[in-house]
Chains A and B, each alone.
Chain A
Amino acid sequence: MQSNASWRKFSLTKARPPGISQTIVTTQTAIPVALIGCGAVSQAFYLPTLRALSATGEFAVHSLIDPSASARAPLAEAFPRAGQFTTLADAEMPAGGLAIVATPPRFHAGQTLESFARGWHVLCEKPMASASAECEKMIAAAESAQRLLAVGLYKRFFPSSRYLKDLIAGGQLGVLRSYSIVEGGPFKWPAATPSFFNKAQTPGGVLLDIGVHVLDLLVWWAGEPESLDYADDAMGGLETNARATLTHRGGAQGMIRLSRDWSTANEYRFEFEHGLVSWKVNDANNLTVQLAGTSAALRAQLVTPLRSNLNGAEPQPLATNPQSFIAQLQNVAAAIRGTQPLLIPGAEGIRSLRLIETCYREREVLDQPWFTPVESNRAQELAVQS
């Protein structure tokens, strides 16, 4: 089990990588990267992304940092020139490099602050931190150090989520009246350690996990709700099922259901004044749309825009899910080089966490209708105590 202590106590085992100079990042040089945390998200997402972007010369993986040698192994194999370190304190990288913080959430704030102190930019995995107060310190530290703080909320880079943002903001289908979001299923993330289920390391359950993405998209699309009700099934531990009902300025009503327990439809559905739109979770470039008054729905892939003449090139599919993850890193690289604005800075990352904290403050225990009356009463007591 990977504990807080294990991140601090491991002794130094460093090997300085050859060929990385202490130069300042320019548009010509590859940006050095320190990957802090080599667990499941790093292996499944950052490894292939950094491999692709190393090949284009955008990034050069400089340091792999994790107390577990077995966790570092697949990344070390992919990036043999990178140095391996058991602690962040021992790691080396030139100022101006990028630290990717992909550890359990309770480490995010401390490791981000330490990275800024060493002159690195930071891309912090979601959730940005364990609490919004920590996020505020991270944002202030970024400003003070004159470094970028990006947050890993890559679903904003999906063509489908951008299209939905356009529809909600632009009103092409009229006003948004309501939405329902159902997401989740039995927990299958290949977590190497139980940190996901250790309340001391991860202070929330399904809401703090997949709920971060859900609420981030929601506040990006529709803004913060004016009011909400929230309930979950934590009974002294971490929730596996969560429900929220929300009301937005303008009257749109929303319902969110999240689960780590049972298969859900994994679908977002929006009811506009002039039509319905359905989006399947993680489908980066497909939507289903039914215009009001029509007899069928259109299930469509998002492609490059049509041109008015018939001689244009054949439309091409927009980015897939993995390509959207890569696009997030490309945006961070471009922002470091000063050629693009950073699309998801800390000030955006904090929004979903604030909303999650509001949910936990308003929390009620979910009615679990198969419980006996004695069990229901005890569940209430446990929920209040926690």
Chain B
Amino acid sequence: MKVAIIGANGFIGSRIVEQFYLNGTHTAIPVVRKPASLALPSRFAIGWRLGDALDSGSLAAALNGCEAVVHCAIGDPRQIEQMPAVLCEAAEAAGVNRVVYLSSASVHGQNAPDGSSEESPLHETHSIEYNNAKVRAENAFFSEATKRGIEGYALRPGVVYGPRSRWIADLAAELRGGRAWLYEGGTGICNGIYVDNLIAAIGLCLEAKSGAGQAYLVGDRETTSWADFYHLAADSLGVPRASIHRLPELPVFRKPFRERVENAVAQPWVQSLLPAVPGKVKQVTKTLLSSWNPPRSPDAWSLPSSPQPRITEEMALLQQCHCKLPHTKAAQTLGYEPPVPFAEGMRRSFAWLEFATSPS
């Protein structure tokens, strides 16, 4: 099958191209927005195309002649919300009937409530705006796909790790820098999925005879704690497990005023009003916001300090999660069985890190 991969230069997209091309599973057509993004796809003698995931005209031209499309482009929350409509419009114009859209398990929140599944109602009041954008984007995807008669499948992976994943590279940097931490001993559940397992699910969506118009949670087979994830990573890097900070409590995250304003401005109804606001007012507002709460200068009379844990709201929520998101529906409807075990996925991920960053 001739399959367009939108976002083929990214972590997931580049691995899809590698897999499809090297295994001969499908004819992958990498689609990227700009020439500079062709570095990874062009390792192969492959027919890439340029197309903008935010412009239906250019995207339709890029999808021409394809039988299916996998959408794994990323963007800021506003772009994430715009992409599904552009995708479906372009697919319809190009005559592509099957579309696999990468949604995210974060539609349930990073700290998904116990018992969460595809049947759980979604809301748009998450504290992290990315999650709300993904909820709106997934809804828009199904709405647009239905309207245009497209067979749409949405996958909801959690923490996707593997070669070129930020979860691997960032964690390695935190571990090596002495800033990694675990909350309550790392007993929270890491809803991880090795990238090849996600691609296996994508492959099933491309071939499925039924199950269109629905979202599917997908993950690794094992139930893995954050301690499992961090300890295996530390062992792979030769970093002592004891160097990982143990946190009995987490800070309360209050969004700074500036971020709250930015989130409010990102709302669709605010965006629709913005063209009426004079440019000078926008500029003055931006200047005022950028000068709000300037960082304090460090005290010159302080001792050199040891590395401190770097706690983000996203990671704090993730480590509090005690729900293993099920992939029962994907198994029953699509026949999903994750082919790569967690330990092997981590081994391959850190083998890539060694490949990418080792000086020798």
Interface of A toward B, CB cutoff 8 Å: 180, 182, 186-197, 199, 205, 233-241, 255, 257, 259-262, 264-265, 366-371, 374-375, 378-379, 382, 386
Contacts and interface: CB of A to CB of B under 8 A. Distances in A.
Nearest to A376: B22
Contacts of B360: 180, 255
A368 B44 CA distance: 14
Contact of B38 (A196, A241, A386): A196
B354 A369 contact: yes
A199 B43 CA distance: 10
A260 B39 contact: yes
Given A237-B43, A237-B44, A375 B22 contact: yes
A366 B355 CA distance: 9
A371 B348 CA distance: 8
Interface string B35-56: 1111111111110101000000
B22 A369 contact: no
A264 B356 CA distance: 8
Contacts of A378: 22-24
B197 to A, nearest CB: 13
B164 A262 contact: yes
Interface in B32-83: 35-46, 48, 50
Interface in B144-187: 162-164
A370 B163 contact: yes
| Interface residues of chain B: helix, strand, loop or mixed (majority) | helix
Contact of B22 (A196, A366, A367, A379): A379
Nearest to B18: A375
Contacts of B250: none
Given A237-B41, A237-B43, 19 more contacts: A180-B359, A182-B359, A186-B39, A187-B38, A193-B35, A194-B48, A196-B36, A196-B38, A199-B42, A205-B42, A235-B21, A236-B44, A236-B45, A240-B42, A241-B355, A255-B359, A255-B360, A370-B352, A375-B19
B7 to A, nearest CB: 14
Contacts, number: 105
Interface of B: 18-19, 21-24, 35-46, 48, 50, 162-164, 348-349, 351-352, 354-357, 359-360
Contacts of A189: 36
A73 to B, nearest CB: 19
Nearest to B14: A261
A193 B38 CA distance: 11
Nearest to A180: B359
Contacts of B36: 187-191, 196
24 contacts: A193-B35, A194-B35, A195-B35, A235-B22, A235-B44, A237-B46, A238-B42, A238-B43, A240-B42, A257-B359, A261-B39, A262-B356, A369-B351, A369-B352, A369-B354, A369-B355, A370-B162, A370-B163, A370-B348, A370-B351, A371-B18, A374-B23, A378-B23, A386-B45
Contacts of B45: 199, 236-237, 382, 386
A180 to B, nearest CB: 6
Contacts of A205: 39, 42-43
Contacts of A368: 352, 355
A234 B44 CA distance: 7
B348 A369 contact: yes
Contacts of A262: 164, 356-357
Contact of A237 (B42, B164, B351, B356): B42
A311 B35 CA distance: 56
Interface centre among B36, B356, B360 (most CB of A within 10 A): B36
A190 B35 CA distance: 8
B43 A187 contact: no
Nearest to B45: A236
Nearest to A232: B43
Most buried by B among A367, A379, A386: A379
Nearest to B24: A378
Contact of A265 (B24, B44, B359): B359
A269 to B, nearest CB: 8
B249 to A, nearest CB: 34
Contacts of A197: 35, 38-39, 41-42, 48
Contacts of A234: 43
Contacts of B50: 194
A118 to B, nearest CB: 32
Contacts of A186: 39
B19 A370 contact: no
B355 to A, nearest CB: 6
Contacts of B164: 261-262
